[in-house]
A and B are shown apart, each in its own frame.
Chain A
Amino acid sequence: MNAKLPRGVSKEQFASAMNAMRKVVGNQWVIVDDNPLIAGYMDTYSAAPVSSTAASAAVCPASVEEVQQIVKIAHSHRIPIWSIATGRNFAYGGPAPRSAGQVVLDLRRMNRVLEVNTELGYAIVEPGVGYVDFYNYMQKHKLPYWIDCAANGMGGVMGNTLDHGVGYTAYGDHLLMQCGMEVVMSDGSLMRTGMGALPNSTCFPLYKYGYGPYIDGLFTQSNFGVVTKIGLWLMPEPPAFKPFKVQFESEDDLYQATELMLPLKINMIIPNAAITTHLLWEASLFTTKHEWSSGPGALPQSTLRRIAEKFDIGMWNFYAALYGMPEVVEENWKLVEATFQKIKGAKIILGEDRKGDPSFDYRARLMRGEPNLTEFSLLNWVGGGGHINFSPISPASGDDAMKQFHMIRQVCEKYGFDYIGEFVIGWREQHHILMLMFNRYDADESKRAHDCFAQLIDDAAAQGYGEYRTNLHFMDAIAETYNANDGALLKMHRRVKRALDPAGILAPGKNGIWPIGETPETES
């Protein structure tokens, strides 16, 4: 008998729902919390106790029809269900639901690549298609397209896209490259967006906007439906690919590097989601904190300098790539070289200069859409597994980059943590990603990490910076910062929630969107 229950649900109601769900998916695919397999649904990395987001059960359907039936049962029994696709949302909560007792709807078994069209350059995938699966599929069939993956190669196409994730090829803005969506609504009905609403149309994965309001975005970072298919555009394998790195000697070079990089990005000379990464992000591939300090607190500047010298890493490191016809790439390369040579001491590095360097290697692989997990070396920096990502958006300007860097580092140091950060460069902004690393077996350190994160949200908001996505435990706090005009946006989200999911069964609390009568306060 399971110990946990969703809030407000009786034992009998829960048992009856689970029995009905077993009839749909088979006994083995309903995992209640007395089954040791429930361990796979825990958030093993966050700063808060695992129990605070422990699921009461997980249900794993294998088809759209099964999803519809499960949603109907959840609806009639008032069971909250939290959808995951590949369920590897590490740094943001992994496979766990927003609050204890919610039932995870695990869509990993729906793992088919339904279609790849090599003439029009698109694919249609189910929720469970992981990056490695998708990459292997393309390789196996020798298709002339690349995939685009996150640095967490365990993740997958749909889950990452729905949480507004990024990759590193020219198609790194995943939601931008998504086209067409199929959604199970909270009453179990099935809807297709855009051209998918027109019977017999083949334009579902070709034209995003269809007719009338464009609504795909409503089903991202939200809880208005369960997405069961998405179309996405694929990047043709380019004839030439030139990944490169530029190392900068001084932390202050971030200003000039950002200013000089921006015109290259806006003019699409550099078309990919390039990054500027700080020393320690790179260093964790080679060394750990314990090798440099046994005491508490952030490493001092003098130690950072020694690490930079020992491993020949810049205080900042810019990675990007050029793609296209060889002649064009070479012409653009001249411009890139001339641009970065303006920065005193900048070191421009190509693949042949760094054979066997794991950091150049994994970055280059990501920039051509080859999944890997090298970046998990970050977890070795302090050890103990804990990590949560603080990810504010910054204008791609030198001033903003410096301001955010100093602000975040100062707060990190106050709480005794190293600044381990990078800027992922979008079309005109940067996602500033702080990986807050801590030993989650140390209660004091976990608490400090939690408090540090909370202060970062407030300090960033006070300066007009907001986060693009977040960890389960901070979803409400961040939603509250987007509060212009008396919270008009969040109020609108909650109104939509009421209209589309009046019973409030879908992922209650996702990104601060709670159903009627439920609030963050009643939750805690």
Chain B
Amino acid sequence: MIVRRTLTAAALIAMMIVGTAHAGDMKNSVSHGEQIFNTQCIFCHGQGLGHPAWQMLALKKGKAKAYIVGRTDLTPLYIKHVVRNGLIEMPPFRVSQISNPDLDALAQYITHPDGAQSAK
């Protein structure tokens, strides 16, 4: 049976894309950063074959560095630079796609997925 239902929804998508990270609430920021990673990055940067960024980084830097989340040699500054400018095969991301606060949360998540405070 098909149920008649019309959804007029704004909130969800708006939340996903332009949500802001609140300074001081690191746990939240990490889960928010993780959410952005899972919508914008994971299809290339997930682990294993089928993920082109993982594949390319495995080739260039070895499997230990192929998954960027939790890598200790990446700084938030570098991550943000790569996201805004792209890197060889990776396209840049516009501020209309990932806002600056979202990018902060994303870089925080990649460098410290466990929720620890990152060095600035």
Residues of A within 8 A of B (CB): 28-29, 31, 36-37, 39-42, 44-45, 58, 60, 87-88, 90, 94-95, 106, 108-109, 111-119, 128-129, 132-133, 136-137, 140-141, 143-144, 153-154, 285-286, 288, 358, 361-362, 371-374, 376-377, 379-380, 383-385, 441
Contacting pair A40 B39 (CB below 8 A):
no
* Nearest CB of A to B5, in Å: 5
Contacting pair A133 B17 (CB below 8 A):
yes
* Nearest CB of A to B94, in Å: 3
Residues in A with CB closer than 8 Å to B95 are 28, 31, 37, 40, 60
* Interface flag for B12 (CB, 8 Å): yes
* Interface flag for B72 (CB, 8 Å): no
The CB with the most chain B CB atoms within 10 A, among A28, A153, A285, A379, is that of A379
Contacting pair B43 A136 (CB below 8 A):
no
Contacting pair B52 A376 (CB below 8 A):
yes
Among A141, A286, A373, the residue within 8 A (CB) of B44 is: A373
How far apart are the CA atoms of A506 and B109 in the complex, in Å?
Answer: 40
* CB-based closest 7 A-B pairs: A358-B50, A40-B94, A373-B43, A108-B96, A119-B4, A376-B52, A379-B89
Among the 9-residue stretches B22-30, B63-71, B80-88, B111-119, the one with 4 or more Cβ atoms under 8 Å from chain A is B80-88
Residues in A with CB closer than 8 Å to B84 are 36-37, 39-40
* Nearest CB of A to B73, in Å: 22
Contacting pair A374 B51 (CB below 8 A):
yes
Contacting pair A129 B50 (CB below 8 A):
no
* Interface flag for B92 (CB, 8 Å): yes
The CB with the most chain B CB atoms within 10 A, among A36, A87, A113, A376, is that of A376
How far apart are the CA atoms of A87 and B96 in the complex, in Å?
Answer: 10
Contacting pair A112 B96 (CB below 8 A):
no
The CB with the most chain A CB atoms within 10 A, among B44, B85, B95, is that of B95
How far apart are the CA atoms of A466 and B44 in the complex, in Å?
Answer: 33
How far apart are the CA atoms of A358 and B92 in the complex, in Å?
Answer: 25
Residues in A with CB closer than 8 Å to B43 are 132, 153-154, 371-374
Contacting pair B93 A40 (CB below 8 A):
yes
Among B7, B39, B50, B89, the residue within 8 A (CB) of A362 is: B50
Residues in A with CB closer than 8 Å to B59 are 288, 380
The total of interchain contacts (Cβ-Cβ below 8 angstroms) comes to 136
Contacting pair B13 A113 (CB below 8 A):
yes
* Nearest CB of A to B47, in Å: 12
* Nearest CB of A to B12, in Å: 6
Contacting pair A383 B56 (CB below 8 A):
yes
Contacting pair A119 B5 (CB below 8 A):
yes
Residues in A with CB closer than 8 Å to B94 are 37, 40-41, 58, 87, 95, 106, 108
Write the chain A residue with the least CB distance to B88: A385
Residues in B with CB closer than 8 Å to A286 are 49
* Nearest CB of A to B2, in Å: 6
Q: Contact mask B1-33 → A, CB, 8 Å, 1/0? A: 011111111101110111000000000000000
Contacting pair A137 B91 (CB below 8 A):
no
Contacting pair B86 A39 (CB below 8 A):
yes
Write the chain A residue with the least CB distance to B92: A40
* Interface flag for B108 (CB, 8 Å): no
Q: Contact mask B38-55 → A, CB, 8 Å, 1/0? A: 011001100011111001
Contacting pair B13 A112 (CB below 8 A):
yes
How far apart are the CA atoms of A362 and B3 in the complex, in Å?
Answer: 31
**Mind listing 19 A-B residue pairs with CB under 8 Å?**
A36-B84, A40-B84, A111-B17, A112-B14, A113-B7, A115-B8, A118-B4, A119-B2, A133-B13, A140-B12, A144-B2, A154-B43, A358-B48, A358-B50, A371-B43, A376-B52, A376-B89, A377-B55, A385-B89
How far apart are the CA atoms of A143 and B84 in the complex, in Å?
Answer: 34
How far apart are the CA atoms of A90 and B89 in the complex, in Å?
Answer: 11
Write the chain B residue with the least CB distance to A285: B49
* Nearest CB of B to A319, in Å: 15
Write the chain B residue with the least CB distance to A379: B89
Write the chain B residue with the least CB distance to A380: B56
Among B3, B52, B56, B91, the residue within 8 A (CB) of A118 is: B3
